[in-house]
Amino acid sequence: MKRLKMLFVTPYLPSPPRFGGQRRLAGLMAGLARSHEVSVLSFVDPREDNSSSIRATETYCKKVIAVPNERVALATTRKRLLQLRSLLSRRSFARFVFHSGALSKALDRLLGEEPYDIVHFEFAQMVANRPRRSYEGARPVFVLDEHNIEYDILRRTALSSPGLDRKFYNLLDWRKLRMEEQEAWRRVDGCALTSARDEELLRRELPTASTAVVPNAVDVDFFQPGPDSGRTDPMTLVFFGSLNYHPNTDGLLFFLREILPRLKARHPSLKVRIVGQQPPREIEARAGDGVEVTGLVDDVRPYIERATVIIVPLRIGGGTRFKILEAMAMGKAVVSTTIGAEGIDVHDGSDILLADEPETFAAQIGRLLDDAALRHRMGATARSLIEQRYSWSASVGRLEEFHAELLARRHTST
C-alpha cells in the first residue's frame, strides 16, 4: 500500500494514553504512522497545560494542531446550564460540546493547504465540524471511527436512570443524538467500528453504509504477565478505569451496594482496590473497611498484577472494554457482566466468567478466590486469546485494508 497522508480529527489528544478513547487513538495512530504520514487536529482544555500531551503526540504525528474548547471539561454548574440550553433546543448536549466554529475553520484551512488522502473523525460528534467546501483535485476519503454507538449508550443510561427527571432528560437527549449520529454516518465514506454488534446496529439503520470492524486491542508487549505474575495480594479484587465516566461509576456503585456485602459475608478479609482518575464523591465516600480508592496512577500494571481477580460489573456501555483486554493480556482472571464483555470474543468458563445478577456475580468471584488453579488456567487461556486476536498490529492492518477499499471505491467513482 502506498504511503498516505492522514488527518485525525479528535476530541482530545491521544497521548499519553490514560483512558480507553486515548488508548484506541494512540494504538491506531502510532501504528499507522509507521507506514503513513499522520497528523492530528484536536480539542484541548484551555485551562490545562497541554504541552506534555502535545510533545507525546508529536513523537508519531507530523502536525499537532490544538484548538481550545473549554466545554470539554465544564464544572458542574456550567454543565447544567449547557444541558438546559440543549433541552430547549433541537441539538443534543454532545453537539453543543463538540461542535466548534474554530475547529471547523481550522479543518477547512488544513484541507485547503494539504492534499490529505484520509480524514478520520473520532466519534460521531466530531463529524459536525466537517466543512462544506469544494475541492480542486480529488477530495479526501472521510472516515468515522465509532468507538461506541453513542446513542446506544445514552439509551441504556436513560433506562437505568433512577429519577424521572433524569430519565426524561436522557431519553429526550437520546432521540436527538440518535438523529445526529445517523446523520454523521451519511456524511462520511465509511465507518470503522469496534465490534460486530456495533456494526450490526449501524447497518440495521443504514444498510448502504460501508463498514469495517476494527477491534480495540492491546500492546501485548507492554501488557503481559510480569516476573511476579504468580504473586498477588491475597483476597484482592481490582477495578480500574476512568471514574469520571458514568458507565464505570454506575457499575462500581452496583458492585459496592449489591455484590460486595454478599462477598464480605463469605470472605470477611476481602479487599477491593479501585484505580482510576477523578473518582466522584460517592465513590470516594466508600473508601475504608477494605475498600481503597487510589485515584489516578502513573502505571496501572502493578495494580493489575497484584489483583487476585479483576472485576468488570458494568451495566451500561458500548464498543469494547479496554480494561478486560488489558487484564486478560496480563494473564488475569476476570469476572464481568455480559454487557461488560460485549464485543469481545470471550468464552464463558474458559477465558472469563460472566454473571449479571448480584448473587451469581458474587458466586463467580467466590469460585476464583477459592481456586488458584482455576485462576491460573483461565489467565493463561485469556492471554492466548489476546495474542491471537487483539494485538494492535492486527487492528491497524484491518484499518489499512478498509482505507484501501474506500480509496479504490472513490477512484472508480470519479
pLDDT at 279 > cutoff 70: yes
CA distances 383 to 28, 231, 273, 295, 350, Å, are: 21, 17, 22, 27, 12
Q: Is the pLDDT of residue 130 over 70?
A: yes
More confident residue, 371 or 71: 371
- Residues 138-162 have a mean pLDDT of 90
* Total Cβ atoms within 10 A of residue 106: 18
Above 80 in pLDDT, residue 143?
A: yes
Q: Which of 107, 53, 43 is nearest to 73 (CA)?
A: 43
H helix or E strand, kind and range, residue 143: strand 141-146
- CA 105 – CA 121 distance, rounded (Å): 15
pLDDT average, residue stretch 261-290? 95
Confidence of residue 132 (pLDDT cuts 50, 70, 90): confident
Parallel/antiparallel/unpaired status of strands 353-354 and 141-146: unpaired
**Considering only 53-62, 87-96, 274-283, 376-385, which range has the smallest mean pLDDT?**
87-96
Instruction: Write b or e for each residue in 60-81: b if 16 or more Cβ atoms lie within 10 A of its Cβ, otherwise e.
Output: bbeebbbbebebebeeeeeeee
Q: Is the pLDDT of residue 237 over 90?
A: yes
Rounded average pLDDT over 108-131 = 96
Question: What pLDDT is attached to residue 350?
Answer: 96
Mean pLDDT of all residues in 114-135:
93
Q: How far apart are CA 254 and CA 62, in angstroms?
A: 44
d(CA 126, CA 103): 10
Is residue 334 within 8 A of residue 353, CB to CB? The reply is yes
Using 50, 70 and 90 to split pLDDT, how confident is the model at 135?
confident
Assign 16 a pLDDT band (cuts: 50, 70, 90): very high
Higher pLDDT, 334 or 86: 334
SS (H, E, C) 29-78: HHHHHCCCEEEEEEEECCCCCCHHHHHHHHCCCCCEEEEECHHHHCCHHH
Give the rounded percent of residues in the chain with a pLDDT score beyond 70: 97
Q: Which residues neighbour 287 within 8 Å (Cβ) at sequence distance 6 or greater? A: 293
Mean pLDDT of 377-382: 97
Residue 413 has pLDDT above 60, yes or no: no
With contact defined as beta carbons under 8 Å apart, do 375 and 367 qualify? no
Q: Output the pLDDT for position 412.
A: 62
pLDDT above 90 as % of the chain:
79
Do the Cβ atoms of 374 and 367 come closer than 8 Å?
A: yes
- Residue 277's contacts (CB-CB under 8 Å, 6 or more residues apart) are 18, 19, 242, 243, 244, 295, 296
Write down the H helix ranges in 187-300. 196-205, 246-254, 260-266, 281-284
The top-level CATH class assigned to 236-389 is alpha beta
Residues 6+ apart with CB under 8 A from 280: 243, 244, 249
Residue 62 is predicted with a pLDDT of: 98
Q: Do domains 5-217+392-413 and 236-389 have the same CATH topology?
A: yes
Q: What is the pLDDT of residue 411?
A: 65
pLDDT band at 83 (very low <50, low <70, confident <90, very high): confident
For the 5-217+392-413 domain, the top CATH level (class) is alpha beta
Split at pLDDT 50, 70, 90, the class of 348 is: very high
- Give the residue, 256 or 1, on which the prediction is more confident: 256
pLDDT at 282 over 80: yes
Q: How far apart are CA 76 and CA 399, in angstroms?
A: 38
Rounded to 5°, angle at Cα 401 from 31 and 397: 30
Domain positions in the chain are: 5-217+392-413, 236-389
| Cβ atoms of 286 and 293 closer than 8 Å | yes
- Tens of pLDDT along 167-221? 888 899 999 999 999 999 999 999 999 999 999 999 999 999 999 999 999 999 9
pLDDT band of 228, cuts 50, 70, 90: low
Q: Which residue has 438546559 as its cell numbers?
A: 84
Q: What is the pLDDT of residue 230?
A: 60
pTM: 0.88
